[in-house]
Amino acid sequence: MNVEFYSLLGVILKTEILRVDPVSIDLNKIQKAAKILRDGGLVAFPTETVYGLGADALSPRAVEKIFKVKGRPPDNPLIIHIGDKLELEKLAKNIPQKVEVLIENFWPGPLTIVLQKSSIVPKIVNAGLETVAIRMPSNKIALSLINESKVPIAAPSANISTRPSPTSAKHVINDLNGMIDAIIDGGETNIGVESTVIDLTTTPITLLRPGGVTFEDLQKILGKNNIEKSKYNPDEKIAAAKSPGMKYRHYSPKADVFLVEGKSDRIELKVQEIATNFEKKGYKVGIITINQKHQYQADTVEFIGSDLETIAKNIFKTFRKFDNKDMDIIIMEGVKEKRLGLAIMNRLRKAAKKIIQV
């Protein structure tokens, strides 16, 4: 019986956990996962950003399983992962010359480019749009899987929709065990937030989602006047999203998140005030801080680092840690929106129930 028949019956699948050392890759395990993809199954795998949930991008039936398993809205497009830049010409058309300089500087790596799609890309992958989002990951396990499967891999984050993105195989197991065919455990991811997405079908180029490649990095390569940030308004309804992470609430733990932005001394006072008020009402409160000098009183206080790279790597992991402790409220300090801080604040604002400026 195939995977779909089991799913229809509501029978739990046996998810195979394939542990792979990223330094010394076991090709037999990668080939086993690659065969699952070629046969129309789902495989979760590590990238340098977060874990992805992969399917054969050219198989509508396989891609449909991603949406069903995640509970993902069908108008939220997927990113196609490739292992060779030559595959771009199969998946996209009217490719501008500036793509070459972007590839030269940022691929393999955490940069996704949006281009006009070719006719071979199934509509389900890109939500029926005329564009397609493509990237080449730098994680060696991911690249090995793509190359062994011999198909481009459509892959959103390997979690239930709206939940914090997974940065370890354990997170994927917690969300998707028994729902997908295999999980490649390649350890923790390096960056911890998803890839940067830029739209090359606009003039100037538009930054749709900040990520591991910073806006400043892109300006340096493309020129300051040749790229601009998209205007994100959490209250504005987007008719059609060219990139994941634009249209719906994302990255959220079970607890309500309160994000406090502003000057450091004011942030400290406001965070403690909010925590005290909720604790008086009987709520279980967790605080996430980026400043070791801030001495908070709450049920759980977690320092996740002071440099942007460490903060980015720890955000989703800490959200999940607080979920395991059954927190009702999470209060998080904001960071400055420079370099990787832009991506961090994008994720936090998407996850927050309320944003407080002080």
> Which run of H or E residues covers position 184?
strand 182-185
Q: Are 333 and 311 a contacting pair, CB within 8 Å? A: no
Q: Which residue has the tokens 């779909």?
A: 4
Predicted local confidence at residue 230, as pLDDT: 85
Contacts of 312 (CB under 8 A, 6+ apart): 191, 192, 193, 340, 343, 344
Q: Cα–Cα distance between 150 and 64 in angstroms, integer? A: 20
Please state the rounded mean pLDDT for residues 294-306: 95
Q: Are 53 and 180 a contacting pair, CB within 8 Å? A: yes
- Which structure tokens are listed for 86? 């030559």
Q: Is 117 helix (H, G, I), strand (E, B) or coil?
A: strand
Nearest to 51 by CA among 148, 182, 151, 242: 182
Beta-carbon neighbour count of residue 321 at 10 Å? 18
- Which structure tokens are listed for 164? 């914090």
Predicted local confidence at residue 238, as pLDDT: 52
Confidence tier at 263 by pLDDT (50, 70, 90): confident
DSSP 304-327: --SSHHHHHHHHHHHHHHHHHTT-
Nearest to 270 by CA among 344, 356, 329: 356
Task: Evaluate if residue 288 carries a pLDDT over 90.
Answer: yes
**Looking at per-residue confidence, does 231 or 137 come out higher?**
137
Nearest to 87 by CA among 105, 101, 67, 108: 108
Predicted local confidence at residue 351, as pLDDT: 94
> Residue type for 37, please?
L
The pTM of the full predicted model, rounded to 2 decimals, is 0.91
Please state the rounded mean pLDDT for residues 34-63: 98
User: What order do you get walking across the sheet with 354-357 strand by strand?
Assistant: 300-303, 285-289, 329-333, 256-261, 354-357
What percentage of residues in the chain have a pLDDT greater than 70? Answer: 91
**Beta 285-289 vs 300-303: how paired, if at all?**
parallel
Q: Cα–Cα distance between 303 and 161 in angstroms, integer? A: 27
Confidence tier at 251 by pLDDT (50, 70, 90): confident
Task: Evaluate if residue 319 carries a pLDDT over 90.
Answer: yes
> Residue type for 272, please?
Q
- Which structure tokens are listed for 162? 């709206």
Q: Is 172 helix (H, G, I), strand (E, B) or coil?
A: helix
pLDDT tens profile 52-86: 999 999 999 999 999 999 999 998 999 999 999 99
Please state the rounded mean pLDDT for residues 292-304: 94
Predicted local confidence at residue 12, as pLDDT: 64
Predicted local confidence at residue 270, as pLDDT: 96
What domains does the chain contain, in order, with CATH numbers?
Answer: 3-229 (3.90.870.10), 256-357 (3.40.50.11030)
H helix runs in 10-139, sequence order:
27-38, 60-70, 88-91, 98-106
Please state the rounded mean pLDDT for residues 241-251: 62
pLDDT tens profile 140-157: 999 999 999 999 999 999
Q: Cα–Cα distance between 138 and 81 in angstroms, integer? A: 11
